Every structure is written in C-alpha cells, then in structure tokens.
Structure 1
Amino acid sequence: MKLPWRLSARLLIASSVATVIGFSAVCTSVLIDMRHGEEALARQTLENLASGIDADINRNIELYDLSLRNVVNNLGLPEIAEVSKPILHLILFDHAATAQHFGAIQVFDAAGRLTIDASTLDPLPESRAEEDYFRVHRDNPDTGLFISKPMLHRGAYVLVLSRRISAPDGHFLGVVAGSIRFSYFQDLFGRLSLEQGDTVTVLRRDRTVIMRTPFDPEIIGRNLNTRSGWNPANLPDGGIYRGVGPVDTIPRMYVRRTSESPLVVIVGKPLDSIFGLWQTEAMRIGAIMLTLIGLALGVTMLLVREMGRRAQAESRLEELASTDALTGLKNRRKFDATIESEWRRATRYALPISLLMIDADHFKAFNDRFGHQAGDQLLLGVAICITDSVRRAGDCAARYGGEEFAVLLPGQAAADAMRVAETIRLKVQEWSDGAERATVS
C-alpha cells in the first residue's frame, strides 16, 4: 500500500535531515581521527629522529669512553713505570679511538698537572686543577664517566669526557680526560633534513644544554631548570610535551628519547607545522558540509524521482553481491549455490564433475614483505590467469577465500581437470616475474 505523497515527502525530508546529521557526525569523527593520526605520525617521526641521533651520540661516547677506560686500566699496571715514553704511549693509546672530532687523551696527576698527552711525547706544562671535571673526580670516587659543560679547550669548543684514576686502596691519583669537539654535533645536525622551526637539543642529565639546532650561543651551557615559567616535570624521560618550551615562545611538540646515555636528546616540531595540513582539510570538509546541507532539498527531490529506478538498482546490486570485488570472479556465496546445483545435476544424470582448489603459495610471507597492495595485485593476476584458462560457459571460477580459489568443471573427468589445472599453473608461472616468482598449488 502506497503512502500519501505528503507523508512520503515528510519521510524523505526527515531522512535527508537525519542523513546530514549522521554524515556530519561521521565527518567530525573522521576529522578527529585525522588530527590524532597527524599527531601520531609526527610523534613517531620525532621519536625515530631522536632515536637515531641518540644512537649516534651514544655510540661515539661509548667508543671514546672505552679508550679512557683502557688508559685507566693500563696505568694501573705495576710495570708501567719502567717503560720508555714511546712504549708508554703505545701501551696507553694503541687502542684509543681516533676520529676527526675526537681530541687527544690527556692524563693529569693528583695535583692537576698534565703528565701524559697522546698528541706528544713531551707535553708542555699545563694544569687543570681548577676545572669542574677534575674537582668532581677528586671529591667523588664513584662518579664514573663525567661529561663537562661546553668549554673552550685548545682554541675550540668541546665536551670533556673524563674518568678518575684511583690507586688499589682507592685514593685519588689523577684524571684521564679527552674531548669531543662541537664540530661533531654540527656535522651530525647538518646531515638531518629539518623543516623550518624544528629543533634538536642535546642535554646533560642535569638539563644543561650541550648543543641545540638552530644554534643559539646564549642557550649553550645554560641549565634549563633555572628557566622561569618552565616546569622540568613537563617532559620526563621518554615523554612527550605539547606547548611552549623553555627556550622560545613557539608552541611545539617535544619528544624526549628514553636512553641510558649520559646525554639526553629532545626533538621538537611546531604545532602549526604538524596540524597545518589537517587545518586545511578541516576547512575544506567544512565547506563541503555546508554545501551538502544547502543541497539537501535538491537531493530529496532527486530521491523521489529515483524511486522509479529502484528495481533496476536492486537487480544490479544482486549481481554485485555474487561477484568478488577484488578479482571479478564469483564469490563464495555464488560458488556454494552453484556447486550444490551442479552436484545434484551430476548425481541425477551420472555425469562426471571436477573441482580444482587453487592456493597462492607463500601468500602470507609475500604480503608481509611487499604489503597488502602488492598482495592484492598478486591475487588479481592469479584470477586473470584462471579466467583465461577456464572458458566453457558452464564452468565456475570463484574466489573461495583469502588466497584460495576454486574452479568447478561440470562434465569433465579427472584427466581433463588436470590439464586445466596445469594450464593455470603455467599461466601463473609465466605471468609472474622478478626475484619473487608467484606460484600456485
């Protein structure tokens, strides 16, 4: 029984309004998900960047620290006092790390006087008794590796890495020290592809700034704990912070790398850079939504006209419901109906019937290695090969599920089915190329 025109119009208008509201809710949800996605992508990118920088810095510090430890251990050998200077240098510094950015290792006695220098056999008189790293090791036996603040050393800004030299009874004998030049950090940061406003900061564990890009000499050597308006708890180890940092007023997302290294790496990206594309998309989608609301009445009138074509659309939908969207073959539902019908017919008339079950070999490994898009292309190629091999009108080729295909061959015995199967196998083998050849079983 047909509804009156007025009631139908009201229902269509109500449906249109509900659709607009629902679509608006979906779009809002999509926009929120897009924003979260942009944020998650930016966080992952920053974490990867911080991880790479931290790994490089930590590797070089460990390498240089091994050289310092080697010197400390060899100085404890009893026979070290009896050897000549060239032999002493060979023993102490034979395995010392050498690189463009590493300074020469030096040994200072308990009074801070330079006694051994890896760069020369006859070092000039020099005292480091007043340096922080010397006093730290003298007063704290358990310090271990100590990294100084940025300082001027032999005409260049460096970080001094040092270790305590102790007697067997534990009393202080001196300090072994080396340096990493600032050119190392400049070279490391120079290799990064940073965008406008991105920052990379390297801190000591006490939050003293070791290096920062973009470079700001006013910040180098400063302790961020003393910056007014900044709470160090905002960015714990391995944490993330969104907002204004302690150095400038640009809101950023900051990521701090979790590491056991004595230096901490923090990377930042402006929030405008992270959400700029999202804001553009949000404005575009908002404009589209306003247009959709304006067109709601027009769509409603079109829906009234389209009611007459409903039967045709339903017929088309039924056809689509029996076809696999990816491969164009019959789907499992259509195959089940066909095999049931053909089985009854074969039983009734005592006719042969054959079934081929085809499986793409190692598909999961292929999918994991090359991605789902490549996997879909592989399945489509296999489907084309099957279609080219199965040409009889009564045959039914279908995607059975996942990487499995089925071919129903009514009226064909096993020998004929084997020939069809071999044809399919060879076509797939000839179609695939490259290092990873596709095969089917």
Structure 2
Amino acid sequence: MLFGRQSDAIGRGWFGKASGRRRWRLSVKLLIASSIATVIGFSAICTSVMFDMRRGEEELARQTLENLAAGIDADIARNIELYDLSLRNVASNLVIPEIHKVSKEIRHLILFDHAATAKHFGAIQVFDADGKLSIDAASLDPAPEDRSDEEYFQIHRANSNVGLYMSRPMLRRSAYSIVFSRRINDSDGGFLGVVVGSIRFSYFHELFGRLTLDPGDTITVLRQDRTIIMRKPFGLEIIGKNLAERPRWNPANLKDGGSFAGVGPVDPTPRLFVRAGTTSLFFVVVGKPLASILKLWHREALRIGAIMLVLTLFVVGTTLFLAREIGRRAKAEEKLEELATTDSLTGLKNRRKFDIEIDAEWRRAARNKTPVAVLMIDADHFKAYNDTYGHQAGDQVLVGIAICISDAVRRAGDCPARYGGEEFAVLLPGLSAIEAFAVAEAIRLKVEQWSEYPGVTTVSAGVASMTPAGSFGWPDLIEAADKALYAAKANGRNQSVVAAIPQLALVA
C-alpha cells in the first residue's frame, strides 16, 4: 500500500511537467504557424505574379489582334471606297440629259473611263427602274437580265436614303461575290434605277493569304446586321449566315471596338475576339485561341507551380523535423527540470523549487493584498527510529509522510516540498492562519493513522500566515513557521502550532 500510493505522490509532485509541455506546444504551434504563413505568403505572391503574367499575355494578344483587325478593316474599307467612287461617278453621269444622245461607245467612255479596275472587281452594271439591265461595263450589247427580285434592288427602290449598300454573299457571274449598289435618282429624287458593282471572294482570299496566322486563328468580315461576308478559315456553310439569329450568342458580348474572351458563335473553341470597324457597312472580328495565347503562360505556371510544390514540401519537411527536435529538446528540458526541482525519494518539490514558488506567490499576494500561509512539518523521533530500524525503514517513513501530505494538499496552487532531511514545507497561497491550521491538522492525523507503530512515527507542524506588507518578506514567514514548529516539539510533539505575528502563540 505504501509504495502503491507513492507513484501518485510522485506524479502529483511533477506538476512542472505540464507547464513544460505547454511551452513545447506553444513553440511547435508558433513554428507551424510561421511555416504556414510563409507558404501562404509565397503562394500569394506567386499567384499574384502569375495572374499579372496572364493579364500581360492577354493584353499583348489583344493589342496584336486590334492592330491586325484595324489593318484588315482599313484595307477593305479603302478598296470599297475606291469602288464606290466609280459607282458614284456612274450614278451622277447617268442623270446628265446628253448622256442618252451619244453613242454607246462614247457613253461607256463617259461612264466607265475612270472606273476602278482590278482583277477582283466585277464589271459595273446599271439596272433601270424595272430592274432590267440597261448598261454593262463589260459589253456594249449586254444580254438581258432582270434583277428586280434582288434584295439590293428592292431596298433602293423603297428607300432613297440608303446610300452605298452591301449585299449578302451571292453567286454572281459564276463567282462568289459581294455586291455593292447605289440608287440612281432623277432631278426630283425619283427612282431611276440602280448602279451595281461587286468584289469577288478572291480579293478576301488574297488579302488573308498575305497574313501570317497561327492554326486556329480566325478572321471574320460581317455586315452591320451581323451577316457573315467572309471568314477564314473559309467555309460555304457559314458564309451568309446571320449571327444575330444564333440563340446562344449575345451580340452584347462583342461591341464596337471591344473584345471578348470565350466561346464564339461559330465553333466551340474558346478564343479572344477583337472587333474593329470604321464604316457603317461592315466590321472585322479577329479571333485567336486562348490556348495559343496562354501556351507560354501555362508552361511558366507549371514550372513555377512545380518549384512552389518542391519548396512547400521542403518547408513542411523542415517544419516536421524541427517540431520533432523541439519535442525532443522539450522532453529533455522537462526531465532536467524534474531532476532539478523534485526530491528523488519522496517525489515532492525540493527546497530550490519551493523557494522559487514562494517568492512568486509572495509577489502575487503583495499585488492582490491576499495572505500567504506556510506549514513547516517535521517527523517526530525520526533519528531514533532511523537508528533503530535502519535507513531503508527511515526512507519508507519519509515517503509515507510525503504521501499523507500530498493527500491533504490538493489545490493547484499549493506547493508541498521536502525542505531537508526529515523536514517538510507546504506553501498554501490565499489561506488564513485558521485555514492553514486545519490543513496542518489533517496532515498530522493522516500520518498518525497511517503509522504501523502508533506513537513511533508522528509529525509536528508549525503554521504561519501573513499578508505581505511593509518590510516583511517571505523569509520572515518561513522563520515564523519554523519557530512555531520548534514550539510544537517543545510542547510535546505530534501537534500543530500557529505562529502569532510578531510573537508565537500555541494552539491546541
């Protein structure tokens, strides 16, 4: 029974172990928090840099596409403008009264001498108010044609303010072309007919063929109503389609002079689209696959991501290694602290630890104006018992007394200690003399009941309690309790005595 209870006393005596573990946990937590903060910080910086690089790649691609779209738009607009000058010249000369009095040869010279000519331009034709072909730049005696059912003819006949009109793509004289037309008015604004010209698809093929494009790049020329005039890559199945009729495409995605990143209305490939347009007839949209734009960025992102992963693994590994080493060091420090502050025989605190604890409690009590009590306990007749039964039996007595003290002193702030030899001390913060006396009596009675040889192994106790004030220090408290202990022994032993401050008083 004696040695079975000794382990409890020793476990209770190593109270400092918990504080050491708390310090270790705090150190590891601080290390882990620092490592996590470092990883998060570097990750945030790298993520920010990567997003800046992505935005830079997208902005560079957008500027390049803007320049490309603007160049294509300017080339097409310039050629249409040159062709329109010819159409204007024909329309204005046709209303001259004398034009119908000259021969066909002279009329052709007057109407078409300054007309723009190129291999991609179709011959200019004039249709009368009924849609019948009346004049053809390609022939003095043209074959009969009726274009009264054509969209451009009906639009000009119905509206005098259309100006230059661009038709939908159509097959004209065995070649796919875009038809341009102007209305011919008489002096009163009446409808006299339509002058018509065309630009063949070969012009667009040649224009786009001069450009260096990557696979997946697209160029689309659209009328203002979003009808596709021409597209690269070319496909007759998409030419002439109106994108405004596509239910899954929102025209607001790509406004005039704007850009849009995502899936377009023609195919499912995500692209960056840029729109440019300087005329009211058409606009140009250039697209580049996002995968192509971000190809370099993806490679850099993978490289930096791999580096960050390696660094993260290194930091985690280093953190775990240091945490383990901190744990080992903390355990070693705990062990050293236990050895330095614990009495090896009884498991109670030693005198060095007791002095540290009473100094801290005395300062706290001075700040809070609360009392501090001390018990000085000594084994009665211990020298005679030790000489009679031997040192091993004497050690068992000291261990038994330590267990009795530990059983009676259970508050977290109390500090029982082996003060020296057969003398013990108990620090009781916050207790008055009467309360401390009750604890001393509880210890004395436990020892008396535990002894296997009644009257042989008992203890005497001196009790002192003070509230720090003036010039008194905790050594004065120890001295008062020690004098009370000597008074208990002088009064017959196996009793507790309370010290009166400044003089001693015996209490039964």
Please say if 1:68 is aligned against 2:84.
Answer: no
Map of 2:141 onto structure 1: 122
May I ask how many residue pairs the two structures share in their alignment? 295
1:115 counterpart SS class: strand
Map of 1:194 onto structure 2: 213
**Residue type of the alignment partner of 1:42:** A
User: What are the Cα deviations for residues 125-144 of structure 1, in whole angstroms up to 9, with x where unaligned?
Assistant: 11111111111111111110
Output the CA distance in 1 between the equivalents of 2:187 and 2:164: 19
Q: Quote the offset at 1:287 in angstroms.
A: 0.9
Map of 1:251 onto structure 2: 270
Q: Quote the offset at 1:64 in angstroms.
A: 0.3
Among residues 209, 220, 227, which one is paired with 2:228 in the alignment?
A: 209
Map of 1:136 onto structure 2: 155
Please say if 1:289 is aligned against 2:326.
Answer: no
| Matched ranges for 1:230-269 at <5 A | 230-269=249-288
Map of 2:471 onto structure 1: none
2:294 counterpart SS class: helix
Check the 8 A contact 2:73/2:277 in 1, yes or no.
no
Q: Quote the offset at 1:276 in angstroms.
A: 2.1
Q: Quote the offset at 1:36 in angstroms.
A: 0.3
Q: Quote the offset at 1:269 in angstroms.
A: 1.1
Among residues 33, 37, 54, which one is paired with 2:52 in the alignment?
A: 33
Compared CA separation, residues 100 and 108, structure 1 to 2 (3 A): same
1:128 counterpart SS class: coil
**Residue type of the alignment partner of 2:229:** I
Map of 2:337 onto structure 1: none
1:174 counterpart SS class: strand
Output the CA distance in 2 between the equivalents of 1:137 and 1:280: 56
Among residues 286, 289, 297, which one is paired with 1:270 in the alignment?
A: 289
Q: Quote the offset at 1:21 in angstroms.
A: 3.9
- Compare CA radii of gyration and give the structure with the larger one: 2
Map of 2:430 onto structure 1: none
Q: Quote the offset at 1:19 in angstroms.
A: 4.8
**Residue type of the alignment partner of 1:192:** L
Output the CA distance in 2 between the equivalents of 1:113 and 1:64: 22
Output the CA distance in 2 between the equivalents of 1:11 and 1:230: 54
| Matched ranges for 1:338-353 at <5 A | none
**Residue type of the alignment partner of 2:230:** M
Please say if 1:93 is aligned against 2:112.
Answer: yes
Q: Which has the higher contact order (CA 8 A, sep 6+)?
A: 2
**Residue type of the alignment partner of 1:259:** T
Compared CA separation, residues 228 and 10, structure 1 to 2 (3 A): closer
Among residues 239, 243, 246, which one is paired with 1:220 in the alignment?
A: 239
Q: Quote the offset at 1:20 in angstroms.
A: 4.4
Check the 8 A contact 1:106/1:114 in 2, yes or no.
yes
Output the CA distance in 2 between the equivalents of 1:14 and 1:131: 77
Output the CA distance in 2 between the equivalents of 1:110 and 1:272: 54
Output the CA distance in 2 between the equivalents of 1:92 and 1:111: 21
Output the CA distance in 2 between the equivalents of 1:129 and 1:10: 88
Output the CA distance in 1 between the equivalents of 2:73 and 2:170: 21
Output the CA distance in 2 between the equivalents of 1:152 and 1:258: 26
**Residue type of the alignment partner of 1:230:** W
Output the CA distance in 2 between the equivalents of 1:248 and 1:10: 54
**Residue type of the alignment partner of 1:148:** S
Please say if 1:158 is aligned against 2:170.
Answer: no
Please say if 1:50 is aligned against 2:69.
Answer: yes
Q: Quote the offset at 1:297 in angstroms.
A: 8.2
1:236 counterpart SS class: coil
1:101 counterpart SS class: coil
2:106 counterpart SS class: helix
User: What are the Cα deviations for residues 367-386 of structure 1, in whole angstroms up to 9, with x where unaligned?
Assistant: xxxxxxxxxxxxxxxxxxxx
Q: Quote the offset at 1:196 in angstroms.
A: 1.3
Structure 1: runs of 5+ lacking an equivalent: 1-5, 301-441
CA RMSD of aligned residues (A): 2.3
Among residues 167, 170, 176, which one is paired with 2:189 in the alignment?
A: 170
Check the 8 A contact 2:271/2:288 in 1, yes or no.
yes
Sequence identity of aligned pairs in percent?
68
**Residue type of the alignment partner of 2:226:** R
Check the 8 A contact 1:163/1:175 in 2, yes or no.
yes
Map of 1:111 onto structure 2: 130
Check the 8 A contact 1:58/1:261 in 2, yes or no.
no
1:43 counterpart SS class: helix
Output the CA distance in 1 between the equivalents of 2:229 and 2:158: 24
**Residue type of the alignment partner of 1:171:** G
User: What are the Cα deviations for residues 235-258 of structure 1, in whole angstroms up to 9, with x where unaligned?
Assistant: 111121121111111111111114
1:57 counterpart SS class: helix
Output the CA distance in 1 between the equivalents of 2:144 and 2:235: 34
Q: Quote the offset at 1:14 in angstroms.
A: 7.8
**Residue type of the alignment partner of 1:103:** G
**Residue type of the alignment partner of 2:142:** P
Compared CA separation, residues 242 and 85, structure 1 to 2 (3 A): same
